[in-house]
Amino acid sequence: MHEFKAQSARRQRRLKKPVQKVVTKADSMVFSNLLTSPELLEPLEALLPEFRERLYPPTVTLAMFWRQVLSADGSCQNAVNEAIVNRVLSGLGAGSANTGAYCEARKRLPQEMARALARQTAALLNAHTPEGWLWRGRHVKLVDGTTILMPDTAENQARFPQHGRQEPGAGFPIARLVGVISLAHGALLDVAMGPYTGKGTGEHGLFRELLRGLVQDDVMVADGYYASYFLIAAVRALGVDFVFEQHGGRDTDFRTGEKLGARDHVVTWSKPKARPAWMTVEQYASYPEELTVRETKVREKVLVTSFLKPCAVSRRDLGQLFLQRWNAELDLRNIKDTLGMGRLSCKTPAMAEKELGVYLLAYNLIRLLMAEAAVQAGVLPRRLSFKHTVQVWIAWSQRQFLSDAPEDLAALFGLIAQVRVGNRPGRIEPRAVKQRPKPFPRLHTTRQRARNNIRLHGHAEKLRA
């Protein structure tokens, strides 16, 4: 029995190497060994399922899945082709180019494996964040929501129905995401996923699942959608400060309350008389009867905050902090457009959620590279280009002759730090495109029905002729 356990332990240590090989180049000085430390590998070991010796054991499969979402060609065939080429270059047998074994291996991955590793990576980044990256020594957490699409299959439609205004077969399953992002280093600390419509699937409902990620002395920054009485009460109960834009449904009268300055006052909000449908009577009774908040106008926006003393946090400070909220929009664009998470490729809800976890892990690992490059270059991570980092890492990881020697790692981080993003405060761009789209109409029915119509009547151009 003891011999069996020893063999199992040796096998698990050996199977960790593929993941270590993928991420080891991300290790250096300040963030040294984060991803190969016991802090991360022990949770990885705990998440490993029971398995037999296979061509694609769990850690190998996860590493391939991770590289697959970073690849421009995100197909399973490309992932398998890269694996067999690497095996040949390593002196091993090529194996089959059939994707069946790899796809089955992806199905066997534990549901929470990638997302748990993504959260752990972000937590380690948080724990090692230099003091100079923080806002007044405090972590600022940006909260925002977005949506993603997935393949139009019956399983996906049942779990994540398409938009209600679309005809059946004319849309795609759509999921809503709400994420908590670190302002300091840009990592996605946690995310909640649910259907686009339905009870408890709004941004508030999903955000309540993420309250566990907020800790005392954090500062939360979000748009006006989050400036609700019950959400503010929940955040303040955790000892978290906040800066929100005023909700559009609430009137602000600066003639009332305790005047602090021009268009700056402290007011008291009363608990809404109507109990929300999602809230029990006991939960409603547990909320305070009143909240004291500060409302202040900065430029054209009215901000709501828990920073009540202007001598400690001025209007100018609040305005500058709230401007940083735009980074959440940029970060979501990076993960959806640059990495390609805006449209998932898996055809079942379970696999779609695994794919989401792998995207989050890939995103946070790229943020880890940027954090180390920023430390060595002496700049803030927000000054570095995310897309440039992805491009450099993909090109770098494909070079078999490069080592993990300190000089090679220094060269990698130096390349990442070369491209800086512009400092463009107050940038305004029109929400319009100059290039005209191709003159094809929208598809308002299923493809099968459209094909049948073409067989019967020909293409629309022929009908008009």
For residue 13, is it within any domain?
no
Q: Regarding beta strands 140-149 and 219-222, do their DSSP bridges make them parallel or antiparallel, or are they unpaired?
A: parallel
For residue 308, is it within any domain?
yes
For residue 82, is it within any domain?
no
Answer whether residue 1 shows pLDDT above 70.
no
Question: Could you give the CA distance from residue 386 to residue 9 in angstroms, rounded to a whole number?
Answer: 38
The pLDDT tens digits of the residues spanning 53-81 come to 567 877 788 888 888 888 888 889 998 89
For residue 94, is it within any domain?
no
For residue 52, is it within any domain?
no
Beta carbons within 8 Å of 8's beta carbon, 6+ residues apart: none
Answer whether residue 28 shows pLDDT above 60.
no
Question: Could you give the CA distance from residue 127 to residue 142 in angstroms, rounded to a whole number?
Answer: 17
The pLDDT tens digits of the residues spanning 79-110 come to 889 888 877 877 777 778 888 988 998 998 88
Question: Could you give the CA distance from residue 224 to residue 226 in angstroms, rounded to a whole number?
Answer: 5
The domain in which residue 291 lies consists of 121-334
- The beta-strand segments (E) located in 15-95 are none
**Residue-level pLDDT at 21:** 40
| Stronger pLDDT, 29 or 314, i.e. the higher one | 314
The pLDDT confidence band at residue 307, using thresholds 50, 70 and 90, is very high
H or E stretch at 369? helix 349-377
In contact, 387 and 367? CB cutoff 8 Å: no
Token pair of 452, please? 């049948």
Residue 293 exposed, middle or buried by CB count within 10 Å (0-12, 13-18, 19+): buried
Answer whether residue 329 shows pLDDT above 50.
yes
The pLDDT tens digits of the residues spanning 182-228 come to 999 999 999 999 999 877 678 999 999 999 889 999 999 999 999 99
Of 279, 301, 285, 286, nearest to 204 by C-alpha is 279
Measured N-to-C along each axis, helices 113-127 and 58-70 cross at an angle, to the nearest 10 degrees, of: 70
In contact, 222 and 142? CB cutoff 8 Å: yes
Question: Could you give the CA distance from residue 380 to residue 327 in angstroms, rounded to a whole number?
Answer: 13
**Residue-level pLDDT at 120:** 87
Measured N-to-C along each axis, helices 349-377 and 58-70 cross at an angle, to the nearest 10 degrees, of: 70
In contact, 242 and 221? CB cutoff 8 Å: yes
**Residue-level pLDDT at 444:** 78
Farthest-apart Cα atoms in the chain, separation:
82
Beta carbons within 8 Å of 91's beta carbon, 6+ residues apart: none
Long-range contacts, stretch 446-453, CB < 8 angstroms, 24+ apart: 446/168, 446/169, 446/170, 447/169, 449/169
The pLDDT tens digits of the residues spanning 145-183 come to 999 999 999 999 999 999 888 877 778 999 999 999 999
Question: Could you give the CA distance from residue 55 to residue 42 in angstroms, rounded to a whole number?
Answer: 23
For residue 442, is it within any domain?
no
For residue 112, is it within any domain?
no
**Residue-level pLDDT at 146:** 95
In contact, 163 and 243? CB cutoff 8 Å: no
How many domains is the chain partitioned into structurally? 1
Q: Regarding beta strands 264-270 and 290-298, do their DSSP bridges make them parallel or antiparallel, or are they unpaired?
A: antiparallel
**What average pLDDT does the chain have?**
84
